[in-house]
Structure formats: C-alpha cells, structure tokens
Amino acid sequence: MSIVPEFIVRFYHKTASPPYFYSLSNKLLPWLTAIFLILLGYGLYGGLYLAPTDYQQGDSYRIIYVHVPAAWMSLFIYVVMAIAGGISLIWRMKIADVVLISSAPIGASFTFIALVTGSLWGKPMWGTWWVWDARLTSELILLFLYLGVISLYGAIEDKRTASKAVAILALVGVVNIPIIHYSVQWWNTLHQGPTVTKMDKPSIHLDMLIPLLVMATAFKLYYAIAMLQVAKVEILMREQNTQWVKKLLEDK
C-alpha cells in the first residue's frame, strides 16, 4: 500500500501524457491569467502608489517590486529545472523534459531583469551601474548557466539526446548555485566589499512588504503561464506526427 493517495498517483501519470498535459494547460491558462492580473494589479498599486516613500531612498526603492521578485524567480526556476532534469533522467518522463526546456528562457529573462533593474537601482543610489559583490556576480553567473542550457539544447540535433544533456547540465549547475554564491561572498569579504544590500534591513515596513509578497506570488503565476505557453509549442513540435496532434489540426 503506497503512502501516496491513489488520485495523486493517477493525476501524476495522466499529466505525464503529452495530450493530457496540453489540454490541461489550455484549461488552466485562463484561470492562471485572471489571478495573475488581479495580483499584479494589486501589487503594482500597492508598490507604486500606496507604499510610503522611503526616508532614505526616496521613491527609487520602488524598483524593489520588480527587482526582488525577479531575482527570487531566477533562482526558483533554476531549481525547478534541476528537479525536472532529475525526474527526466530517473523516470524518463517526456513532460519533465518539456518543463525543463520551456522554463529556461523564462529563467534567463528573470535573471536579466534582476540584473538590469538592479543596475538601475544602484546607479542613483550607490553611484555605480555595477559592482563585483557576491550577489551580483552570482546572478551574472546564473545567467550564464541559463544561457548554457539554452545553447546546449539548441546545438544538439536529436532532441531526445538534447533533453538528456540539458537534464544533466541542469543538475550539475544547481549544485553550483550555493557554491558560487558562497565562494563569491568569501571573496567579497576578503576584499572588504562595498555594500550590504538594502534588503538586509532588519525590519521592513509592512506597507512596503505586502506589495512585495504579492508581486512575488504574481510572478510565480506568470512563470506558470509563460512556461505553459512555451511548453505547448514544444509539445506540438515533438508530437507533430502523432494522432492526437493530427486530430487537433482537423478540429481547427
């Protein structure tokens, strides 16, 4: 008798099937989009309008409402990719492959956003577009990791082999994330790095915190939406010769 309830196991097996996953995505997307837009609206309203002006940073701190959620997502998505890679390698699940490669461009985009908005925040605040401290350097390397996954997948012609390759790469890379962050932090403290990021303030005003958490949740929903959109294309490409895709075309 398994500890996992029967209906979860059945659901797990069902989603492993591409046609089911495809139709499930289509059913979920409107709901995800609706909730996302509501949360986004509330988060932006709270962050850009309701939250009080910071006594030290003025209104420039409001960049936090995209910068921090984007940075959180950049890390979260890579971990999701690593988990998907593990599932793919262990259980040879096609959908896991699809989730992995669909997430990569989104993760890279969030990393890019985190870096750019960070620079835009840093320039007026600390006078420089860039500094080689622990967080920035780690985030830059994370961008390279994402680009590596995307490039490797594109470079290998047989997509089944390509999927296995990026699964291995994602798993190896995820080990690297804490290592890089830790090593660069060490390097930074040895060089007496310039600043501690403003987020390490012990107490953040609740009016400022709530929009942040709302935006973070909104971004998670966005990830699901964007990932499913990419996944649908990926599934169609992989399954183009199957019956269910042919039927899908006929139904149009």
For Cα atoms 191, 194, 196, give the angle at the middle one, nearest 5 degrees: 115
Q: Does 67 bind another protein (CB under 8 A)?
A: yes
Instruction: Show the tokens assigned to 50.
Output: 């309701």
Residue closer to another protein (CB basis): 11 or 186: 186
Out of 23, 26, 128, 240, which residue is the one contacting another protein (CB under 8 A)?
Answer: 240
- Shortest approach of another protein to residue 201 CB, angstroms? 19
Which amino acid, 136? L
d(CA 150, CA 145): 9
Which amino acid, 152? L
Collapse the DSSP code of 22 into the 3-class scheme (helix H, G, I; strand E, B; otherwise coil) and give the result: helix
Q: Does 48 bind another protein (CB under 8 A)?
A: yes
The 191-230 contact track toward another protein, x by CB under 8 A, reads -------------------------------x--xx--xx
Binding segment for another protein among 2-10, 76-84, 163-171, 194-202 (CB under 8 A)?
A: 163-171
The whole-angstrom distance between residue 196's C-alpha and the CA centroid of its chain comes to: 25
48 CB neighbour count, 10 Å cutoff: 12
Question: Within 13 A of 215's CA, how many CA atoms are on the CB side?
Answer: 23
Collapse the DSSP code of 160 into the 3-class scheme (helix H, G, I; strand E, B; otherwise coil) and give the result: helix
Interacting residue ranges for another protein, rule: CB under 8 A: 48-49, 53, 58-60, 62-63, 66-67, 70, 89, 105-106, 109, 112-113, 116-117, 120-121, 123-124, 137, 141-142, 144-145, 147-148, 151-152, 155-156, 161, 164-165, 168-169, 171-173, 175-176, 179-180, 182-184, 186-187, 190, 222, 225-226, 229-230, 232-233, 236-237, 240, 245-246, 249, 252
